[in-house]
Amino acid sequence: MRIVFAGTPKFAVESLAILHKSEHEIIGVYCQPDRPKGRGKVLSACPVKLYAEENNLRVIQPEDFSSEQNQKILSSLNPDIMVVAAYGQI
């Protein structure tokens, strides 16, 4: 099954990891855009993005999930299913 995953925090990483280790194909991972953190306002990636990059999964970070541009991207992936775990834009 072709799966698109959407999630951001550490909580969502466990779900993504289970799916990634299954026989299914993760064709895209949606997560929130990198945000400034701390006093120095250094851009930081979310835990889901870090996992996806470590495992060579395609990362998609739209500012607006419902934008026409993003809908074209999602449609082009042609997923069988989308799994959402703690993703703030849906």
Tens-place pLDDT, residues 71-90:
999 999 999 999 999 998 77
Give the domain CATH number at 29: 3.40.50.170
- Locate tokens 């400034």: which residue? 36
Q: pLDDT, tens digit, for every residue of 10-59?
A: 999 999 999 999 999 999 999 999 999 888 889 999 999 999 999 999 99
**Separation CA 31–CA 5 (nearest Å):** 9
Q: Is residue 90 part of a domain?
A: no
Domain span holding position 58: 2-85
- pLDDT score, position 39: 87
Q: Which amino acid is at 18?
A: I
Total domains in the chain come to: 1
- pLDDT score, position 1: 97
Q: Is residue 32 part of a domain?
A: yes
**Separation CA 37–CA 84 (nearest Å):** 24
Q: CB pairs under 8 A, 24+ apart, for 14-17? A: 15/83, 15/85, 16/48, 16/51, 16/52, 16/85, 17/51
- pLDDT score, position 18: 98
Tokens of 59: 């990362």
Q: Is residue 74 part of a domain?
A: yes
- Locate tokens 């074209």: which residue? 72
**Separation CA 68–CA 15 (nearest Å):** 28
